A and B are shown apart, each in its own frame.
Chain A
Amino acid sequence: MNWKDWAGYYAVASYDTNHDQEYFAYRHAAGLMDATPLFKYEVKGPDSLNLLSRIMAKDIGKLRLGRVTYCCWCDDDGKILDDGTVARLGMDHFRVTAAEPFLHWFLQNARTLNVTIEDITAKFGILALQGPLSREILVHAAGGEVATLRFFRLIETRIDGRNVTITRTGYTGDLGYEIWCGNSDAIAVYDALIESGKNYQIMPAGLAALDVARIEAGFIMNGVDYFSANHCLIDSQKSTPYELGLGWSVNLERDCFIGQKALQAEKETGSSWQFVGLEYDWEAFEEIFARFDLPPQTHSGAWRTAVPVYGRSGKQVGQATSGAWSPTLKKNLALASLRNDDYSKGDALFIEVTAEYERKRCPVRVSDPMFFNPERKRGK
C-alpha cells in the first residue's frame, strides 16, 4: 500500500503496489475512495445564501433545494482562490467543499451577516463511490431511491441504519456518488458499501488511480494545474476562472460578488491564458524513444511536474501542468495553460518530453480537456 499526505492526513495513493486495477475499477466496476480530507464547511442561517452568493463566482441564488453545484471563488482581482462544490440541504443550510482551508475567508465575508459557518472537516467522512456499477451498489446499500438520483442532486437517506447524504458527484468524470456520513459512522458505512459491492467487483481505490481518471475527465486541481491566489508569490502565478476554462461557472449579471468587476473587465477584453487539453502524437512520441532504441516510456500513472509547451516557431507558449497515459483512450494526455486565448481544437504544438535524459519536443494537438465523457456520467 502506498500512502501520501492529503491536507495533513495519511491518504491511500494505491492499495496495491500499483494503481492499475483500482483505475480499472473506477472505469469498469466501482472504486471506493476515502475523500474525507477534503475541507468541508457547513453554512447555516438566514443569510447563508447571501454569503455564498457573495463569495462564489457562480450565482448560488439559483441553486435549488436538493442540488449540488460546482463552483470556484476569487479574490477582489478576480484571481481564483479555490474550487469546490456547494450543496443545498435546506433553504438556509449549505455544505461547501474546498481543497484548501477557507474558514477565515468565509468568516471575514460574513461579518455583518446572520449566518453560522462551521468547519466540519473532521466531523464528516466522505466516501467517493465511483464507476459504472456504483448505482447498483448504492441501491443495494441505501435503497431504491438512489436509482433515480440525477446528476448533481442529493438525497438524505440511510446506509446500515446510519444517516448519510448522498450526492451524485465525483472527480472521475464517470457515473459516481459521494456519501457524507458522521465521522463515527464512516467505518460502518464503508464496510456496508464494500459488502454491497461484493457482487459487483467493488475495489477500495486510492488517489493515484483517481489522478489518472480526473485528467481523462479534464478536471483541474488546485496546487497542480493552478495555484490559489493566496499562495502565489508573483501575480503571473495567479489565474482567473476564464483562464482555467471555468468561464461557464461565472455568473456576472447579478448582485455584486467578490471579483465581479475584474472578471467583467476580463470578459470584455479577453483573457491572457487559455486552458486546453493536449493529445500527444503517439507515432512521434514512439519515434523519439526509438531513436534511442527504446520502447515508448510513459509515466506510470499521472504526472504533475509542469513541462513547457512550444509553438510552431519554437517559442514557448505555455506549460502543461499535469498529464497521464489514458489506459481507456489509449492516448497520452496533458492539461495545459497557453498564453493568449485563441487556440482551437486540432492546433499543432509541441511539448517537452525527456527521453534518456535528453529533452525533446513531441508534437501535440490541442483538444477539449474533457477527453473522456461517457453518457453514463450524466445519464439516467
Chain B
Amino acid sequence: MKTASKPNSSTYDAIVIGGGHNGLVCAAYLAKAGKKVLAVEKRPVLGGAAVSEETVPGFTFSTFSYVVSLFRPQIIRQLDLVKHGLQIIPMETTYNPIPGDAGLVRWADGGRTRNEIARFSKKDASLYSEFGLSMGRLSRFTKNVIDTPAPEPASLNPKELFKLLKMGKLFKDFDADMRYLNVKLMTMSAVDFLEEWFESEPLLPSMAGSGIIGTFLGIRSPGTAYVLLHHYMGEIDGAFRAWGFSKGGTGQISLACARAAVSFGAEIITDAAVERVKIRNGRAVGVVLENGGEINARTVISGLDPNRTFLKLVGEDELPASFVGQIKRYKNRGSSGKVNLALSRVPNFEDGRPGLQHLKGDITIAPSIDYVERAYDEAKYGEFSRRPFLNIVIPSLSDPSVAPPGKHVLSAFVQYAPYNIREGAGKWPEKREAFGDAVIDTIEEYAPDIRDCIIDKQVLSPWDIEKMTGLTEGNIFQGELSLEQLAFLRPVAEWSRYRSPINGLWMCASGTHPGGGVMGAPGELAAKTMLKEGGV
C-alpha cells in the first residue's frame, strides 16, 4: 500500500497517532462517519505490532503478532475488510512435541483429540470436551464484555448503572457452578484452575501456557487463569477457540483496515513520527511531528500505549498529578521476545507422525509445568529463560504466499525475555545473539535438524520491540492483562472510556478496554464512543 509522508491538509477533524491495527480501525470508523481523518505512523510500514515485512528476500515475517483469534467479526463486516483483502485461514491443531515421543496433538476433531490425550490420561481425555463447554460458556459472557465499553462502577449516571445491571444480569443468568467458575477464573493461577479438571502433562502446561502470554507472571501465579480465557475465547466465524493466520501475514489485517479507512476518505501518512501532542489551554489541538511539521485537529486520538501517550507525547506538566502517578504505576513489563526464521524446509520433529498436518497449527514447547515455571524463575531475576516457553507457528504450511515455493517461515514467540534484564535494558543488543541461540537450542531438542534448515533469522528482544514499535518495555499488549489493569481499570481508574484528562485527547488502542491482542475492539469502541459522545 502506497502512502505519503506529508499530509494533504493542515487541519483535520481527527488525527490518529500510530498506524497500528487499532488506530486504523478507529480511523476507518471515524472516516466512515464522514469525519476528516488523518492517521500518522512513524514507521515506513503500517501495522504497528500487527505488521508483516519481507525481512529476508522472499520470506514474509509477521514480525511481532503472529496469529489472529479475537479480531471482532463485526469490524470485518462493518468495514468490509474482506473486500479490502482480509483473509483468515484457521489453525486447527495444537501440537506439544516431546523429545523421542509422538507428543500430544489436539485436533479440530474432538474424538481424535480425546484419543491423543488418553495416551497420557484417560481421565483427562474424558473431561476435555466438558472443559471446553464450560470455557465456551464463560467466553460468551466475556465476549459481551469485550464488545462494549467498560461500565464505570463509581458513576451514579443511570446509564452506567444500567450497563452494570445488564452485565450483572448476564452473570446472574449463569447457574451457580458457572458463577463460582468465573470467580475462580478471575483469581486463580492458570495451573491451579486447570488442575481442577486435569492431571496430566503435557496437557496441563500446554493449556496453561496461554495464561502467561504477554504477562510477567508464571503459570503458577494467581491471575493467569484470566489470560487463559482471553486466549481461549479466540473466535473466528462465531466459533470459539478457533485461531487463524492472516493470509500474507498479520500485517494484512492492518493493511485491510488501512484500505478500508482510505476508501472512506481517511488519509494515512507514514515515516511521520509524532514528537508531541499540541496542547492549548488544556485542550489537544493537533500534533507536532519530529520533522517539525505541525498538523491541527479538533480531536487527537492516541493509538500508542498509555505510558508513551501521556508521559512522552503529552508531558507530566499538562496532567493532573494523580493521573500521572497512576500512569507511572501502570505495568508494562515486557516479558517476551520473538524469533523469526526463514527455513529451507520444514524441520523434522522426529515424532514418527506421518505428514505435516499436525504442524499446521501452533506448536507449544511446554513439556511440563516445572519447565515453564523454571523459565519464569530465571526471568524473575533479570535473565532470559535458557529453556523458554515457546509458541511456534509455521504459517507457510497453510499460506504458501509468505515463503518461496518449498521454503518456509517459522515464527517463535518466546517467553520469558524480561525487558529489564539484570544488566539494564540497554544491554539487550549485546545479549540478543545469546537469546536467539537459547531459542534455537531449545527448538533443536525437539527438531534436531533445525539448524540445517535455517537460511536466515531475526531475533527480537523486548528492547528491540520497543525500539521498533514504540511499545513501552516491549509489552505486546500495551500493558499487562492483569485483573487490576482490565475493564474499568484499563488503563487507569476513571479513564477507562477512551477519554483522557486532556480535552480533545482520546485513546483507542490495546492500553484501553478490552485490551491487547489483534482484536480491533479498542479501536472500534473508541470510535463509536467518540461519535456517540460528540468527541469528534
In the complex, what distance in Å separates the CA atom of A112 from the CA atom of B299?
A: 81
Alpha-carbon distance between A80 and B92 when the two chains are bound, in angstroms: 42
| Cα–Cα distance between A283 and B405 once the two chains are bound (Å) | 41
Tell me if B99 counts as interface (CB < 8 A to partner A): no
**Is the beta-carbon distance between A200 and B405 smaller than 8 angstroms?**
yes
Query: A17-25, A176-184, A352-360: which one contacts chain B?
Result: A17-25
Name the distance in Å between B239's Cβ and chain A's nearest Cβ.
8
Interface residue A304 (Cβ < 8 Å from any Cβ of B): no
- Closest A residue to B136 by beta carbon equals A295
Closest to A29 in B: B400
Given contacts A18-B109, A295-B238, A296-B238, contact A28 B397 (CB under 8 A): no
Which B residues are in CB contact (< 8 Å) with A136? 405
Question: A329: CB under 8 A from chain B?
Answer: yes
Given A200-B405, A282-B73, A328-B82, are A295 and B140 also a contact pair (CB < 8 Å)?
Answer: yes
Contact between B108 and A20 (Cβ–Cβ < 8 Å)?
A: yes
**In this assembly, does B237 line the interface, its C-beta being within 8 Å of a C-beta of chain A?**
yes
Q: How far is the CA of A295 from the CA of B237 in the complex (A)?
A: 11
| Docked complex Cα distance between A200 and B402 (Å) | 11
Most buried by B among A20, A29, A295: A295
Does the CB pair B400–A282 fall under 8 Å?
Answer: no
Contact A20 B90 (CB under 8 A): yes
Does A195 interact with chain B (Cβ within 8 Å)? Answer: no
Tell me, in angstroms, the Cα distance from A329 to B397 when the chains sit together: 22
Give the residues from 317 to 370 in chain A that come closer than 8 angstroms, CB to CB, to chain B: 325, 327-331
Task: Answer yes or no: B282 CB below 8 A from chain A CBs.
Answer: no
Contacting pair A21 B92 (CB below 8 A):
yes
Residue of A nearest to B397 (CB): A201
Bound-state Cα–Cα, A182 to B112, Å: 38
Tell me how far the C-beta of A168 lies from the nearest C-beta in chain B, rounded to whole angstroms: 20
Assess whether A230 is interfacial by the CB under 8 Å rule.
Answer: no
| Nearest-Cβ distance from residue B171 to partner chain A, whole angstroms | 13
State whether A28 touches B73 (Cβ < 8 A): no
Residues of B within 8 A of A133 (CB): 400
Q: Could you tell me the distance in whole angstroms from the C-beta of B284 to the nearest C-beta in chain A?
A: 34
CB interface residues, A 150-166, toward B, < 8 Å: none
CB pair B406 A27 closer than 8 Å? no
CB neighbours of B357 from chain A (8 A): 21
- Beta-carbon nearest neighbor of B144 in chain A: A290
Report the minimal beta-carbon distance from A362 to chain B, rounded to whole angstroms: 14
Residue of A201, A296, A325, A328 touching B400 (CB-CB under 8 A):
A201
Per the bound structure, the CA–CA distance linking A296 and B82 in Å amounts to 21
**Chain B: CB-nearest residue to A17:** B109
B513 is an interface residue with CB less than 8 A from chain A = no
Determine if A312 is an interface residue (Cβ-Cβ < 8 Å): no
B87 touches A293 (CB 8 A): no
- Identity of the chain B residue whose Cβ is nearest the Cβ of A298 in the assembled complex: B238
In the complex the two chains form, is B90's CB within 8 Å of A24's CB?
yes
CA distance in complex: A297, B53 (Å): 37
Residue numbers in A under 8 Å from B400 (CB-CB):
28-29, 133, 199-201
Residue of A nearest to B396 (CB): A201
Considering the complex, give the chain A residue whose CB is closest to the CB of B247: A28
Q: Does A77 contact B (CB under 8 A)?
A: no
With a CB–CB cut-off of 8 A, which chain B residues contact A18?
A: 108-109
Q: How many residues of B contact A (CB 8 A)?
A: 31
A286 to B237, CA, bound (A): 12
Residues of chain A with a CB closer than 8 A to B397's CB:
201
Q: What chain B residues lie within 8 Å of A28 (beta carbons)?
A: 87, 89, 247, 398-401
Q: Does B77 contact A (CB under 8 A)?
A: yes
B140 touches A330 (CB 8 A): no
Q: Which A residues are in CB contact (< 8 Å) with B238? A: 286, 295-296, 298
- On chain B, the residues within 8 Å of A298 by CB distance are 237-238
- Per-residue CB proximity of A276-302 to B under 8 Å, as 1/0? 000000110010000001011010000
In the complex, the chain B residue whose C-beta lies closest to that of A286 is B238
Residues of chain B with a CB closer than 8 A to A132's CB: 401
In the assembled complex, the Cα of A222 lies from the Cα of B454 at a distance in Å of: 51
Report if A198 contacts B (CB, 8 A): yes
- Assembled-state Cα–Cα distance A130/B231 (Å): 34
Return the contact of B90 from the options A29, A293, A327, A329 (Cβ within 8 A): A327
A283 B74 Cβ-Cβ under 8 A = yes
Which residues of chain B from 73 to 104 have any CB-CB distance to chain A below 8 Å in the complex? Answer: 73-74, 76-77, 82, 87-90, 92
Shortest Cβ gap from A17 to chain B (Å): 4
Chain A, 30-64, contact with B by CB distance < 8 Å: what is the 0/1 string?
Answer: 00000000000000000000000000000000000
- Asked if B240 lies at the interface with its beta carbon under 8 angstroms from chain A, I say yes
- Chain B residue nearest to A300 (CB atoms) is B239
With A18-B109, A28-B399, A200-B400 known as contacts, the answer to whether A330 contacts B90 (CB < 8 A) is no
* Cβ contact within 8 Å between B82 and A329: yes
| Alpha-carbon gap, A325 to B357, bound state (A) | 24
Decide if A24 touches B398 in the complex (CB within 8 Å): yes
B450 CB to nearest chain A CB (Å) = 20
A residues less than 8 Å from B399 (CB atoms): 28-29
In contact, A330 and B89 (Cβ under 8 angstroms): no
- Kindly state whether residue B173 has any CB partner on chain A within 8 Å: yes
CB-based contact A201/B398 at 8 Å: yes
- The closest CB in chain B to the CB of A132 belongs to B401
> Lowest 8 CB-CB distances: which A-B pairs, in order?
A199-B406, A199-B405, A17-B109, A201-B400, A330-B76, A296-B238, A329-B82, A24-B89
Contacts A17-B108, A21-B360, A331-B77 aside, 11 further interface pairs with beta carbons under 8 A come to A20-B108, A21-B92, A21-B357, A28-B87, A28-B400, A198-B406, A282-B74, A282-B77, A328-B87, A330-B73, A330-B77
**Would you mind naming 27 contact pairs between A and B with Cβ atoms under 8 Å apart?**
A16-B109, A17-B112, A20-B90, A20-B92, A20-B108, A21-B357, A24-B89, A24-B90, A24-B398, A28-B89, A28-B399, A28-B400, A132-B401, A198-B406, A199-B406, A200-B400, A201-B397, A201-B398, A282-B73, A282-B74, A293-B173, A295-B140, A295-B240, A296-B238, A327-B90, A328-B82, A330-B76
Binding site for B on A (CB under 8 A): 16-18, 20-21, 24, 27-29, 132-133, 136, 198-201, 282-283, 286, 293, 295-296, 298, 325, 327-331
